[in-house]
Amino acid sequence: MTRSLGGFRAALLAGWIALSAAGWLYARLKGIPLWIAAPVMAAFLLEYPFYLAPAFEHVRERFAHSHAWLVVSFIAPYVLYASSTGQFRWVALVQLTALAAALSLWYRVLPAAPLADSAFMVLVAAVVLRGYFDPIYTSPLPGLHLDILGHLALVRLCAMVMLVERRVTGIGYGFIPTWAEWKTGLRHFAYFLIAGVPLAWATRLVRLGPIMPAWKIAATFLGMLWVVAIGEEFFFRGLLQQWLTAWSGRPAWALAGASILFGAAHLGFRGFPNWRFALAAAVAGWFYGRAYRQACSIRASMVTHALVVTLWRAAFA
């Protein structure tokens, strides 16, 4: 399916229908006025085909070498919603354009070498951890967080650059795990339950809470799998762990290093320094990394990752 143009069209149509329905329901439940809901939904619908593209080989090969296309696609959702809701600012547009141009041209200017790879990762980490998108994707309504548009665009732009320009192999980038990847992901989720849950309980990170309804558990899992897990697993396992393995020649050290850095990236969660959450994230990252290493695909670690976060949100407070 990832090689099929027909598969891309089918995923695009199904996704547009699902996103339109979900957006309409969300706007109704939250009482978001139409003049805000319509352009915001349009921006997400515009982002969706770009977000899908890296997982489909024919699509990404056709467009990724066009750096102008990568930059335009990066800024287009912002322009669409911001210009229609009174949030448009030229300085924000310049910031988005500069970031997209820097990332898309990175390996046209720099060689594909450890130093350039490390600098690329540091730049992306700084963008995420320093909240680069927060002052750009401003919202016309309190509580409506639109910076997710920036994070979605960042993940798929970096995926395009790494898969087509940098030609990184062994990532397994995609949205639908194979049956073997499901089994690997489920097995390492079970391993995490043995080690991770007692640790989180012992450090008083979690306590039992009311169980989510089944429909919300399913929605949470899919959201984690296709939005959060794919991005984090791409960077931490598909790139960082793989590169650390190549640079050090020691897969165990690479797994440990990627897990520690994954935990450190979560220190700021709900107040810095949240060492309990960072420790749990590092332990979870160990099992995500093991799933990736066994399957040679981030789709397996995405399954483990999505299950862990869904369990945490569904059963614990």
Q: Tell me, yes or no, whether 236 lies in a domain.
A: yes
Query: Tens digits of per-residue pLDDT, 259-305?
Result: 999 999 999 888 888 899 999 999 999 999 999 999 999 999 999 99
End-to-end Cα separation, the chain, in angstroms: 38
Q: Among 165, 195, 222, where does a domain finish?
A: 165
- Closest residue by Cα to residue 141 from 34, 16, 223: 34
Distance CA 15, CA 107 (A): 32
CA distances from 269 to 2, 130, 145, 230, 274 (A): 34, 13, 17, 19, 6
Based on the domain organization, do 25 and 83 belong to the same domain? yes
Q: Tell me, yes or no, whether 104 lies in a domain.
A: yes
Based on the domain organization, do 308 and 185 belong to the same domain? yes
Element (H, E) at 199: helix 179-202
Q: Tell me, yes or no, whether 72 lies in a domain.
A: yes
Structure tokens at 104: 């898309």
Based on the domain organization, do 24 and 161 belong to the same domain? yes
With a cut of 60, say whether residue 2 has pLDDT above it.
Answer: no
- For residue 69, what are the contacts with CB-CB under 8 A and spacing of at least 6? 63
Based on the domain organization, do 301 and 184 belong to the same domain? yes
Based on the domain organization, do 120 and 189 belong to the same domain? no
Q: Among 112, 133, 165, where does a domain finish?
A: 165
Based on the domain organization, do 144 and 205 belong to the same domain? no
What's the pLDDT band for 3 if we cut at 50, 70, 90? low
Q: Tell me, yes or no, whether 171 lies in a domain.
A: no
Question: In the chain, how many domains are there?
Answer: 2
Based on the domain organization, do 35 and 135 belong to the same domain? yes
CA distances from 21 to 11, 27, 31, 152 (A): 15, 10, 15, 20
Based on the domain organization, do 223 and 193 belong to the same domain? yes
CB-based contact 308:189 (threshold 8 Å) = yes
Based on the domain organization, do 183 and 155 belong to the same domain? no
Based on the domain organization, do 260 and 218 belong to the same domain? yes
For the entire predicted model, the pTM comes to 0.94
Based on the domain organization, do 16 and 140 belong to the same domain? yes
Q: Tell me, yes or no, whether 172 lies in a domain.
A: no
What is the span of the domain harbouring residue 271? 179-315
Based on the domain organization, do 156 and 9 belong to the same domain? yes
Query: Tens digits of per-residue pLDDT, 96-117?
Result: 999 999 999 999 999 999 999 9
- Closest residue by Cα to residue 164 from 237, 227, 108: 108
Angle at 174 between CA 168 and CA 176, to 5 degrees: 155
Q: Among 133, 165, 197, where does a domain finish?
A: 165
With a cut of 70, say whether residue 12 has pLDDT above it.
Answer: yes
Query: Tens digits of per-residue pLDDT, 143-196?
Result: 899 999 999 999 999 999 999 999 999 999 999 999 999 999 999 999 999 999
**At residue 208, what are phi and psi to the nearest 5 degrees?**
-65, 140
- Closest residue by Cα to residue 186 from 221, 234, 228: 221
Element (H, E) at 305: helix 298-315
CA distances from 126 to 3, 120, 122, 123, 206 (A): 33, 10, 6, 5, 29
